Amino acid sequence: MGGELQLNLDELGTPEWVRRALIGLTLALIVFGLLAVYSATSFQAEQSGLSGTTTLMDQIARALAGGAAMMTAAYVDYRVWQRLAWPLMAVVGVLLVILVSPGTESFAPAVNGSRRWIALGPATFQPSELAKAAVVFWTAALAVKKGEQIKDFRDGLLPFLVILLPVLFLINQEPHLSATLITAGVAAAVLFSAGVRIRHGLALVAVAVPVVVMLVRQKGYQVERVMAFLDPTGTASDAAHQLRQAQIAIGAGGPFGAGYGQSTQKLYFLPEASNDFIFPIIAEEWGFAGAAGIVVLFLVWTMLGLRIARSAPDRFGRLVGVGMTAIVFIGAFGHMGITMGLMPTTGVSLPFVSAGGTGLVTAMGATGVLLSISSRRRWA
């Protein structure tokens, strides 16, 4: 009996189980996302004279592209990115400069006042999403090179800031504050995992907070979002309206929801219902049980990612594993926190679930990198 129990526990910890669990969770989130996107977009598409499946078919195509990215990243030895970290960071820097440069509007047009996308024929992509992965690879590669020196501020941490701060500045200039903060959070996760001293991190936070406040105050709409967060019922702004509608959707779901496809908030009440605010639609249709299920799926996904990172065969793999896990974790819980009114409103999509191409490809690519790390480890 004891021998059988030990054998089962050993099998539970095999790399194949972890890989299959990560793949299964990822596919489950993607399929759930396709259902949610169809529910959130079909009515408005039909009202516009389009097929109700238009956005769904687009999202399926994006998921296939993400699947190709995931399989490629899983097949490629993750250690390749240690050698390519600097070139990849340079490419990202050039793309971000293009977005904020005059004269590039023909292929980097402004959408809703922001220049976040570069057009390649009929397709578009967001360099800020690519920047998240590039920052992970570059930060991990430099941290490995620094070794114990990373605990020193001047010779360890400061060289990271010389490169990371300009990248964050360029992303914010699009403007795209949410991507700026997520990228900073991902970099911080890698740096602290690499051994950066907590007091150095706290010093940076003390400097960063007033800088973020200053950046927010420069944009009137961002001030409105903060005011809506502080007083959603007493503030008359689009951000406050969006947050109120999101909270109505979440409250209307009750324990088990109104039923799939039965959301009323998606009927022109809640803006960005298929993207930045898809979680309230899920909560309205699937109730607390469905919303809690999504939270659990992301928590388990995160635990698997950290398990892979912890068991990586080298330091670069461990740091990259933490960074890739952080991309999904910060995005997921940032999205859910914002839509529930726990943080000021800003555009954060729900990884694997929200409509959109670059974010989905990035999340699936991050999954592929984790699979690559796990496949090159002899588990005990």
Average pLDDT, the chain: 89
Q: How many CA atoms are closer than 13 Å to the CA of 225, on its beta-carbon side? A: 18
The whole-model pTM stands at: 0.91
Our count of domains for the chain comes to 1
- Which domain range does residue 157 map to? 39-375
For residue 234, what pLDDT is reported? 64
- pLDDT, tens only, 193-252: 999 998 998 888 888 888 877 877 777 667 777 776 776 766 666 777 788 899 999 999
DSSP structural state of residue 265: T
- 241 lies in a domain? yes
Is the pLDDT at 107 greater than 90? The verdict is no
- 4 lies in a domain? no
**Helices marked H in 116-176:** 127-146, 158-172
- 370 lies in a domain? yes
- 196 lies in a domain? yes
Region 162-183: mean pLDDT is: 92
For residue 201, what pLDDT is reported? 87
Nearest Cα to Cα of residue 97 among 135, 128, 143:
128
For residue 30, what pLDDT is reported? 98
* Chain CA centroid to CA 115, Å: 19
What would you measure as the largest C-alpha separation in the chain, in angstroms?
73
- 369 lies in a domain? yes
Read off the tokens for 208.
Answer: 């960063």
Is the pLDDT at 138 greater than 50? The verdict is yes
Is the pLDDT at 4 greater than 80? The verdict is no
CB atoms within 10 A of CB 229: 19
242-263 residues labelled b (16+ CB within 10 A) or e (exposed): bbbbbbbbbebbeeebbeeeeb
More confident residue, 107 or 216: 107
CA distances from 106 to 36, 102, 121, 126 (A): 33, 10, 11, 15
**Helices marked H in 173-197:** 177-194
